[in-house]
Amino acid sequence: MRHKLGQLLSAVSLTPSPVFAFNSSSLVSSVMSPDCIDYQVVGLCFWLLCTNYGCSVETSTKVRHFIPELVVSSYADTGANPWEDVASYSSPTGDAQGGGNVITPNERRDSLGRFKNVDGIGHPGGWAVTQALSQSGYACKSGATAYMSYYLSTLDSLAWRAGIPESAYPEAITPGLREIGWQFSANMWGNVYPRQGFLVQPDDFKAAAVMAQRAGDFITRDWQPHVYWPLTPDEEDGYWPPGPIEENDATTHKWQLLYPTLENTCAIFPSDTTQSEDGGYAWSLWRPYSCCERKGEVFLFSIDFVGGQQ
């Protein structure tokens, strides 16, 4: 199964290359990555099928794979989303006019803050993944809606620009809580909390990545103190959508760099870095789904071999 899928996806060229902004067409082609999709058969589902002649128990294969749900753009200048087709979504507002980094060439550079706007927009390539996988087996549907604005930081100024109320949360004021990377490995990029647009971080890529992780953290949860639309699909019979993303945990999510360089692999943060000349960055956020084909009126239960959800 995985060999056949690899042959199918290898027909699409995904050579890493620099891009100068990007559009929806390049987004759709970017999803044909076996490394990001990670398609696996993980178990069996059992269904009760009843007809006029009696009832029987039927089985179907349970699969697990990742789907690109969001394009998360993290950029300095307000209104300058590098995804050119949706840049108008986040034009400056009365409460969100300026942007850019508080960075000047001087000896105190490492202690100055960086600011990033962040947009989380529904990925238009989720359907392409489903269609490709359906040619070699069963595939799960995405819980995200293409082009939907799940989050625009320009509409969330109190939380994103002022850090209210999360600057007072224990996660924001206690060292060692909710950190991206690890202090003992000397690769801690920043704290998830407070989930706002400012961070003291000398590396621009790392600062942008922390902002993307912060936004993804609350977008994939309900009832967070932000102005956003939660991406929390409901579970159904034979369909297990993902839970919230967790920093440092590749079982909950993956990031695929889209800008300033288009990569054909996925990773979690900390990852390799590359600097943008215009202060703009963008990633696809992939999350894992498990599902199985309906074979009867009543779902009984499922069993997992490895790596499944139930």
How do residues 136-145 score in pLDDT, each as one tens digit? Answer: 789 999 999 9
* Domain segments of the chain as ranges: 2-304
Q: What pLDDT is attached to residue 92?
A: 79
Question: Could you tell me whether strands 198-200 and 113-115 are parallel, antiparallel, or unpaired per DSSP bridges?
Answer: antiparallel
pTM of this structure: 0.89
d(C-alpha 25, C-alpha 30), whole Å: 9
End-to-end CA distance of the chain: 22
Task: Provide mean pLDDT across the span 247-252.
Answer: 98
Place of tokens 């695929």: 256
Task: Provide mean pLDDT across the span 167-181.
Answer: 94
How do residues 113-162 score in pLDDT, each as one tens digit? Answer: 899 999 999 999 999 999 889 887 899 999 999 999 999 999 999 999 99
Q: What is the mean pLDDT of the chain?
A: 88
- Of residues 1 and 259, more confidently modeled: 259
Choose among 3, 125, 138, 1: nearest CA to 62.
Answer: 138
